[in-house]
């Protein structure tokens, strides 16, 4: 019996005939939302690492998976002030040797762990289209030239793309089997987006998503559940946007409070609580049952390193979470798309 949802790993194997793993690359980008924030912090939940792959966080390599929380690992004013006053034209110094080193470290990590030689380049940290066209072309061309990549995945913001950049990204379909852009939807409710300090609204996301698809680029949307003020009505709005866009894939994250974020400051003041395991499982099932059955599910929970994670501290690891989710869905007879009016 298969999984009750369309998993990334199963789709990956079906698509390629073998397992392909992503190699995270931090190319030196920042984020326009950080640049226009007074304190340089950007989204309320984002820390100084900007989703940097764990194996690239070399300065934190001494921390074990089960480490205690380190509340002073980032000092917000110091770690983020460097973003103030920066604009698209004045940033992104391409350090080619550093990128080579990252790819070498990432591929070796994946080879040791998964015994594979099939990789996709994943520009993961911050907003990876936040630079002038010529800089982006130089960077992307360089990365593509380094090895025979199966795919190119670029994570960015909906307010950080235009037709010329999308034409450039689409051109890499000639050399990669998969070219995908990841956009942060987070919520389909404008009030929650303002509370997150996202710096864009739902209309901006819808426009960007349409542009990505119009250029023949695959699209993955990121969703964040459990944010303060989110109930079923707000979750329904998020589901509505997902189905309106009909992306190729989504990633679902439960709310985490990380060190060095403005959300952490609010957490200390008692203004924020994070959903427990049972709540997140219910939220995930609620979403999965109502979205199209052909949408690939790439992620179902957040994986903030323990030494950076203030809350929730008692949340299980990914394997145990997935086991619990899948068992619950099977027990209740739930499956992806069952409550969605299919095309």
176-195 average pLDDT score: 98
pLDDT at 64 over 80: no
28-52 average pLDDT score: 74
* Domain annotation covers residue 1: no
> How sure is the predictor about 65, in pLDDT bands with cuts at 50, 70 and 90?
low
Number of domains in the chain: 1
pLDDT at 137: 98
| Residues 6 or more apart whose Cβ sits within 8 Å of residue 102 | 24, 25, 26, 56
Q: For residues 298 and 251, is the Cβ–Cβ distance under 8 A?
A: yes
Q: How far apart are CA 240 and CA 76, in angstroms?
A: 35
Q: How far apart are CA 208 and CA 159, in angstroms?
A: 7
Percent of the chain with pLDDT over 90: 76
Q: How far apart are CA 67 and CA 53, in angstroms?
A: 18
At CB < 8 A and 24+ separation, what contacts does 198-207 make? 198/33, 198/43, 199/32, 199/33, 199/36, 199/42, 199/43, 199/157, 199/159, 200/157, 200/158, 200/159, 202/237, 202/241, 204/158, 204/159, 205/158, 205/241, 205/245, 206/241, 206/244, 206/245, 207/158
pLDDT at 181: 99
pLDDT at 78: 42
pLDDT at 31: 86
> How sure is the predictor about 38, in pLDDT bands with cuts at 50, 70 and 90?
low
Report strand pairing: 218-225 vs 249-254: parallel
* Domain annotation covers residue 337: no
313-321 average pLDDT score: 94
Residue 69 sits in a domain of what CATH number? 3.20.20.70
Backbone phi, then psi, for 31, in 5-degree steps? -145, 135
pLDDT at 285 over 50: yes
> How sure is the predictor about 52, in pLDDT bands with cuts at 50, 70 and 90?
low
Sole residue written with tokens 């964040």: 224
Domain boundaries, position 179: 8-332
pLDDT at 233: 98
* Domain annotation covers residue 340: no
Q: Is the pTM of this model over 0.75?
A: yes
pLDDT at 306: 86
For the ranges 47-61, 212-226, 296-310, 328-342, the lowest mean pLDDT is seen at 47-61
* Domain annotation covers residue 2: no
pLDDT at 260: 83
Q: How far apart are CA 330 and CA 207, in angstroms?
A: 37
pLDDT at 240 over 50: yes
Report strand pairing: 218-225 vs 178-186: parallel
pLDDT at 101 over 90: yes
- Give pLDDT tens digits for 66-90: 566 666 655 443 444 444 445 655 5
Joined tokens for residue 331: 């027990």
pLDDT at 63 over 70: no
* Domain annotation covers residue 88: yes
pLDDT at 152 over 90: yes
* Domain annotation covers residue 27: yes
* Domain annotation covers residue 175: yes
* Domain annotation covers residue 341: no
Q: How many beta carbons lie within 10 A of that of residue 327, not counting itself?
A: 12
From the centroid of its chain, how far is CA 258?
A: 15
The mean predicted confidence, pLDDT, of the chain is: 90
For the ranges 10-14, 163-167, 258-262, the lowest mean pLDDT is seen at 258-262
């Amino acid at each position: 019996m298969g999984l009750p949802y369309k998993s990334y790993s199963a789709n990956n194997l079906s698509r390629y005939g073998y397992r392909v793993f992503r190699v995270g690359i931090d190319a030196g980008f920042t984020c326009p939302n950080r640049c226009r924030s007074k304190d340089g912090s950007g989204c309320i939940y984002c820390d100084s690492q900007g989703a940097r792959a764990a194996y690239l966080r070399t300065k934190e390599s001494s921390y074990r998976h089960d480490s205690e929380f380190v509340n002073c690992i980032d000092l917000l004013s110091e770690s983020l002030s460097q973003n103030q006053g920066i604009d698209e034209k004045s940033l992104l110094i391409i350090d080619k040797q550093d990128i080579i080193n990252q790819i070498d470290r990432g591929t070796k990590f994946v080879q040791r762990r998964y015994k594979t030689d099939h990789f996709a380049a994943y520009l993961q940290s911050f907003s990876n289209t936040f630079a002038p066209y010529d800089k982006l072309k130089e960077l992307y061309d360089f990365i593509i030239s380094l090895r025979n990549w199966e795919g190119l995945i670029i994570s960015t913001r909906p307010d950080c793309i235009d037709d010329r950049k999308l034409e450039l990204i689409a051109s890499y379909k000639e050399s990669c089997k998969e070219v995908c852009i990841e956009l942060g939807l987070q919520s389909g409710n404008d009030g929650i987006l303002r509370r997150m300090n996202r710096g864009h609204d739902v209309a901006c996301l819808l426009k960007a998503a349409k542009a990505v698809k119009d250029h023949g680029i695959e699209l993955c949307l990121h969703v964040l559940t459990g944010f303060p003020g989110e109930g079923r009505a707000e979750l329904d709005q998020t589901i509505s946007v997902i189905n309106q866009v009909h992306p190729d894939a989504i990633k679902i994250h439960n709310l985490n409070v990380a060190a060095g974020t403005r959300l952490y400051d609010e957490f200390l003041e008692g203004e924020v609580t994070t959903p427990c395991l049972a709540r997140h499982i219910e939220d995930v099932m609620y979403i999965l049952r109502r979205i199209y059955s052909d949408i690939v599910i790439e992620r179902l929970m957040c994986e903030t390193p323990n030494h950076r994670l203030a809350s929730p501290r008692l949340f299980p690891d990914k394997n145990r979470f997935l086991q619990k989710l899948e068992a619950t869905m099977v027990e209740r007879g739930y499956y992806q798309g069952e409550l969605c009016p299919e095309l």
